[in-house]
Amino acid sequence: MEQTLHKIAAIENLIFIGAASLDLKLDHKRYTEWLSNGKNAGMKYLEENVEVRSNPNLLLAQTKSVLVFGMPYYQGDKWTRPGFKTPRIAMYARLKDYHKLIKKKLDLIVDKLCASNESWRRSDFRVAVDTLPLLERALANNTKTGFIGKNTCYIHPRKGSFLLLGEILSTHDFSHHSVAQRML
């Protein structure tokens, strides 16, 4: 299954980062401290669904695994504005709505997973791309294939930090693939 996930992801121009541990206790504690210190800069939506962020089962009952994917978006410093020496548009913002783009790709992956196992149903999975209250960088970090850097981004050792993250929550256990999931 592991090689299949890597291959399916590559077809969709995604990177399969890995199956994440659902243990988010420490990350959730940091998150709530961050909120209580007012670090959310007035973005009130970050204060909503705080408990959901610590428990993917509240988004999909009986979640056993979260599959984490990344879409590289590094484009170089090719976009500049006249009179400016450095790019003025964030690289991820140069893309069409990446939420829709990655969701479509992850939905295709779910369809392929369901087609590969006749007992799996679409309802056994839920796709998230920055659209559900998940601690997605913490989940990416829980795959043990990279780390969260000082820039607060998830950093993949071979792909860097220019990755947009997307997740597939599943009621199926993919954790037994944890050793094989390393991309190094």
At residue 180, does pLDDT exceed 50? no
Backbone angles phi, psi at 114, to 5 degrees: -65, -35
At residue 86, does pLDDT exceed 80? no
Query: What average pLDDT does the chain have?
Result: 85
Q: Is residue 85 part of a domain?
A: yes
Q: Please give the positions annotated as active site.
A: 130
Question: In this predicted model, what pLDDT tens digit does every residue of 27-52 receive, in sequence order?
Answer: 999 999 999 999 999 999 999 999 99
Question: What are 92's two structure tokens?
Answer: 């991820």
- Dist. CA 149–CA 178, nearest whole Å: 22
Q: Is residue 182 part of a domain?
A: no
User: Lowest-confidence range among 3-12, 54-63, 90-99, 128-137?
Assistant: 90-99
Q: Is residue 183 part of a domain?
A: no
pLDDT value of position 184: 24
Helix (H) or strand (E) holding 141: helix 136-142
Question: What are 143's two structure tokens?
Answer: 């795959």
User: Lowest-confidence range among 19-33, 74-88, 146-160, 167-181?
Assistant: 74-88
Question: In this predicted model, what pLDDT tens digit does every residue of 103-127 receive, in sequence order?
Answer: 999 999 999 999 988 999 999 999 9
| Overall domain count for the chain | 1
Percent of the chain with pLDDT over 70: 82
Please identify which residue in the block is written with the tokens 């479509």. 104
Q: Is residue 31 part of a domain?
A: yes
Q: Is residue 11 part of a domain?
A: yes
12: containing domain? 2-177
**What DSSP line would sit under 13-60, residue for residue?**
T-EEEEEEP---HHHHHHHHHHHHTTTTTT-GGGGTTTTGGG-GGGTS
Query: Model pTM?
Result: 0.85
- Dist. CA 100–CA 107, nearest whole Å: 10
Type of residue at 84: F
CA dihedral 151, 153, 156, 161 (to 10 degrees): -70
Split at pLDDT 50, 70, 90, the class of 56 is very high
